[in-house]
Amino acid sequence: MIRRIVKIPFILTLLLLLPAFAQANGLPVFTELAAEAGKSVVFISTEKTATATPPGQQFRQQIPDGHPFKDFFDRFDQFFGQQPGQPRTQRGQGSGFIISSDGLIVTNNHVIEGADRVTVTLQGNEEEYEAEVIGSDKETDLAVIKVDIKRDLPTLSFGDSDAIQVGEWVLAIGNPYGLEHTVTAGIISAKYRNLRVGPFDNFLQTDASINPGNSGGPLLNLKGEVIGINTLINAAGQNLGFAVPSNQAKKIIADLRKGKSVKRGWLGVTIQPVSENQAKALGLDEATGALIASVGKGQPADQAGVRQGDVVLKVNGKEVSDNNELLRLVASLKPGDKARLTLWRNGKETTRTVILGERGKQVMASMQPKAPSKPSSVLGMGIKPVNEKEAAALGLEKVQGLLVIQVAPNSPAANEGIRQGDVIIQANQQDVNTSDELETVIERDKKRGAVMLLLKRQGQNIFVALPIDE
């Protein structure tokens, strides 16, 4: 009994000393940050009405024609009519944070999408407030809603997500599983994550616990600035959360809060990453930039003189690391803006200035990728000139290129994914219509260590680089 009495004050003293101990050892204490920032984080509830599937409908759809049950149900409907499903209410939950004292709130599009009713609950207040959807952007999963409350509300401001470093502490606040105002801490695990869930993926990754219901909540740096909007989790893993970077979100939210739709720049090209072999074939020092696979006829890039086979290295002076970076940089500009492209063409840099069109309003013109006959073998490919009948069958605009009729296993062509039925249009940006022309290019550029082929495959242009021995 005496031992227990002695231990209790010792434990209490230890708990009181923990913040001081953490600070003394360089560890952050989140108490003040959580208390202050939490005032601006809201709990969002949504409702929408959905029509349930009519009773037995799924079973009925699986019954083949001519089956006795099929006839029974058809006669039943004839006399009594098909029974409708009953409307039901679907409910959802999420998080958000206030960005203006008059009640503008940022959240995810997927939290409020399709909702008939959106309500907001503030911290320490059980009252629900009706919210109006001001604007949303599906491509970046962002939305702005507004509540009308007759008092100034506490707000959060955006920080610089480019400045945050991997390993820095961050705090996530939200409502996971409906547990209001839950605070979790962690670090930035990685930056610039492309999860292929949208065209502009550029996520911050964090190991701060993020769960269903955290969507739309803020990811904060130690200054209390929002450097990300929590958006995604990896259900198959632990401590894998992803947030839209604040620098990507700020421009979009600026439009949404004004009730404007988000308009993005458009080049009118198809692009692909630059592989190591393609970089060798093009004479680049490293595999960087975005390779132009095709240029839509009459599109902004075409009008500015951008060519198929160009590699975009910079946009308005900003480095382009890969095709995804080019997409993001162009989309961050507005239709009508000028985009100065630094291009790699024929072994040297050149520039072209494109007046951007509008993404979503333009239709990519199909780029039809040029001529005639015994099969030859080059780099593991059996090839022959395309004849008139083959050109028509393959959807070519005219008789052009070399048809791949066979690919040897474990050959350079097979290893790089070339298939039977591909048509080789160019080698190192030079038209090739005979095997002699292809071999001449290979011999001429052998010192580069690779040859880049422009293929036409099922109507699409694809660049593939094959290694060659000097």
pLDDT at 70: 53
- Alpha-carbon distance of 387 to 403, in angstroms, equals 9
Residue 464 · residue 309 · CB < 8 Å: no
Would you say residue 65 lies in a domain?
no
Q: What DSSP string runs through 95-147?
A: EEEE-STT-EEEE-HHHHTT-SEEEEE-TT---EEEEEEEEEETTTTEEEEEE
**Does one domain contain both 237 and 117?**
yes
Inform me whether the pLDDT recorded for 199 exceeds 70: yes
Number of domains in the chain: 3
The pLDDT tens digits for 41-83 are 999 999 988 665 555 555 455 555 555 555 555 655 555 555 5
pLDDT at 190: 94
Specify the CATH number for the domain of residue 407: 2.30.42.10
Residues contributing to the annotated binding site: 47, 110, 141, 213-215, 231-235
**Does one domain contain both 191 and 306?**
no
Would you say residue 106 lies in a domain?
yes
Burial of 449 from C-beta contacts in 10 A (0-12 / 13-18 / 19+): middle
**Does one domain contain both 130 and 276?**
no
Question: pLDDT-derived band of residue 468, with 50, 70 and 90 as boundaries?
Answer: confident
**Does one domain contain both 327 and 407?**
no
**Does one domain contain both 187 and 294?**
no
Catalytic residue among 45, 136, 141, 294: 141
- Alpha-carbon distance of 117 to 105, in angstroms, equals 15
Catalytic residue among 40, 45, 95, 110: 110
Looking at 358, 390, 425, the residue that finishes a domain is 358
Q: Which two tokens stand for residue 134?
A: 């001001």
Looking at 262, 295, 317, the residue that finishes a domain is 262
- Alpha-carbon distance of 173 to 175, in angstroms, equals 7
Q: What is the identity of the amino acid at 318?
A: K
Question: pLDDT-derived band of residue 368, with 50, 70 and 90 as boundaries?
Answer: very low
pLDDT at 132: 95
**Does one domain contain both 453 and 385?**
yes
- Alpha-carbon distance of 341 to 356, in angstroms, equals 11
Task: State mean pLDDT over 170-181.
Answer: 92
Residue 364 · residue 301 · CB < 8 Å: no
pLDDT at 390: 79
Question: pLDDT-derived band of residue 388, with 50, 70 and 90 as boundaries?
Answer: confident
Would you say residue 60 lies in a domain?
no
Inform me whether the pLDDT recorded for 282 exceeds 80: yes
Residues contributing to the annotated binding site for substrate: 47, 110, 141, 213-215, 231-235
Catalytic residue among 215, 294, 332, 435: 215
Task: State mean pLDDT over 209-224.
Answer: 93
Reply yes or no on whether 65 is catalytic.
no
- Alpha-carbon distance of 138 to 379, in angstroms, equals 45
Only one residue has tokens 């632990």, namely 238
**Does one domain contain both 138 and 252?**
yes
Task: State mean pLDDT over 329-342.
Answer: 93
Task: State mean pLDDT over 100-108.
Answer: 96
Q: List, in sequence order, every residue forming a beta bridge with 287; answer none if it has no partner.
A: none
Reply yes or no on whether 141 is catalytic.
yes
Would you say residue 74 lies in a domain?
no
Inform me whether the pLDDT recorded for 376 exceeds 60: yes
Inform me whether the pLDDT recorded for 435 exceeds 80: yes
pLDDT at 185: 95
Would you say residue 79 lies in a domain?
no
Would you say residue 393 lies in a domain?
yes
**Does one domain contain both 120 and 241?**
yes
**Does one domain contain both 354 and 386?**
no
pLDDT at 445: 84
Reply yes or no on whether 209 is catalytic.
no
pLDDT at 26: 66
Q: Give the up-direction half-sphere exposure of residue 175: CA atoms within 13 A in the CB hemisphere.
A: 21
For the chain, the farthest-separated pair of C-alpha atoms sits apart, in whole angstroms, at 101
Arithmetic mean of pLDDT over the chain: 83
Boundaries of domain holding 315: 265-358
Task: State mean pLDDT over 253-267.
Answer: 90
Of 85-94, 157-166, 201-210, 398-407, least confident by mean pLDDT is 85-94
**Does one domain contain both 206 and 247?**
yes
pLDDT at 55: 52
Specify the CATH number for the domain of residue 167: 2.40.10.120
Would you say residue 368 lies in a domain?
no
Would you say residue 438 lies in a domain?
yes
Torsion, Cα of 93, 99, 100, 103 (10° steps):
0
Question: pLDDT-derived band of residue 5, with 50, 70 and 90 as boundaries?
Answer: very low
Q: What is the identity of the amino acid at 308?
A: Q
pLDDT at 14: 46
Q: 239 or 357: which carries more pLDDT confidence?
A: 357
Looking at 236, 262, 288, the residue that finishes a domain is 262
Residue 404 · residue 383 · CB < 8 Å: yes
Question: pLDDT-derived band of residue 415, with 50, 70 and 90 as boundaries?
Answer: confident
Question: pLDDT-derived band of residue 453, with 50, 70 and 90 as boundaries?
Answer: very high
The pLDDT tens digits for 120-163 are 999 988 889 999 999 999 889 999 999 999 899 999 999 999 99
% of the chain exceeding 90 in pLDDT: 47
**Does one domain contain both 141 and 247?**
yes
- Alpha-carbon distance of 269 to 315, in angstroms, equals 15
Question: pLDDT-derived band of residue 446, with 50, 70 and 90 as boundaries?
Answer: confident
**Does one domain contain both 188 and 272?**
no
